Amino acid sequence: MNSKRTQMGYSLSQIKKETGQIREYNRKLKLEIASLKSPERLENKAGKEFGLRYPLPQQIVFLP
3-state secondary structure 4-59: HHHHHHHHHHHHHHHHHHHHHHHHHHHHHHHHHCCHHHHHHHHHHHHCCCCCCHHH
Q: What is the pLDDT of residue 9?
A: 86
Q: What is the pLDDT of residue 50?
A: 95
Predicted TM-score (pTM) above 0.75: no
Tens of pLDDT, residues 2-58: 788 889 988 999 999 999 999 999 999 999 999 999 999 999 999 999 999 999 999
Is the pLDDT score of 1 beyond 80?
Answer: no
